Amino acid sequence: MEICSTKSRWNFKGKEEAKKASACTIRGYLNNLNENINKNDTRNVIPLSHGDPSGFPNFRTTKVSEDALIDSLQSGKYNGYAQKSVLLQATRSIAEYLSRDYPYELSSNDVHVTAGAKQAIDVLITALAVPGANILLPRPRYPAYEALATFNRLEIRHYDLLPEQDWEVDINGLEALADDRTVAMVNINPGDPCGNVYESEHLKKVVSSLHYTCIYFVKNVV
């Protein structure tokens, strides 16, 4: 049986919008800058753009967490698919921990564990993307939201963050963007790439400015 003939062609082609959305990444610009640093200049470069704190000794994971991880790996009990009871233990503990800061109690049913924030964004955007729907994304923003919304054929509407107001949301602009097809507004707090943290009063104003019911999804860095 001939599996691959030199004459056959792949029956797909790249998506132009997706290519455009993934072409400009902050990491790409940073790599470009880093590659162009003058190697003969002996001054220390302070890595202000370094987003992952785990490379610095003052951000070490606690020893108790490291030991718990090592113990569970070495026990040989958790190297396969998770049993429901094990997952329940984890989601219950997460719910208990998060409930300390919420005005209401979370249960294990409120917790969905993903491999990082990107998978969570993927799950949420895929679930929200129905034909004709739109999503509100901040400008400037972390690029993964735009790429995943584009892949899922959501219409993207940008609202502005105002540099002169410590990157607060331009509430007037936001009100004009949302309509009855808006399924979500992404609010990144603490802000990436701007690094700001919103006052809760500002967040309340943002939420009350949207007259349609949609999901607000926020990435908290813990």
Ligand X SMILES: Cc1ncc(COP(=O)(O)O)c(C=O)c1O
Q: Residues 6 or more apart from 193 whose CB is under 8 A from it?
A: 26, 140, 141, 142
Q: Which stretch binds ligand X (CB under 6 A): 91-99, 112-120, 163-171, 172-180?
A: 112-120
Number of residues that bind ligand X (CB under 6 A): 9
Please list, residue by residue across 8-34, b when 16 or more beta carbons sit within 10 angstroms of its beta carbon and e when fewer do.
eeeeeeeeeeeeebbeeeeeeeeeeee
* Whole-number Å distance between alpha carbons of 120 and 28: 23
Is residue 92 part of the contact set for ligand X (CB under 6 A)? no
Nearer to ligand X, 92 or 118 (CB): 118
Is residue 51 part of the contact set for ligand X (CB under 6 A)? yes
Residues 182-201 that bind ligand X (CB under 6 A): 188, 192
CB of 206 to ligand X, least distance (A): 16
Instruction: Select the residue interacting with ligand X from 117, 128, 171, 203 (CB under 6 A).
Output: 117
Is residue 53 part of the contact set for ligand X (CB under 6 A)? no
Is residue 136 part of the contact set for ligand X (CB under 6 A)? no
Interface ranges with ligand X (CB under 6 A)? 51, 116-118, 142, 144, 188, 192, 219
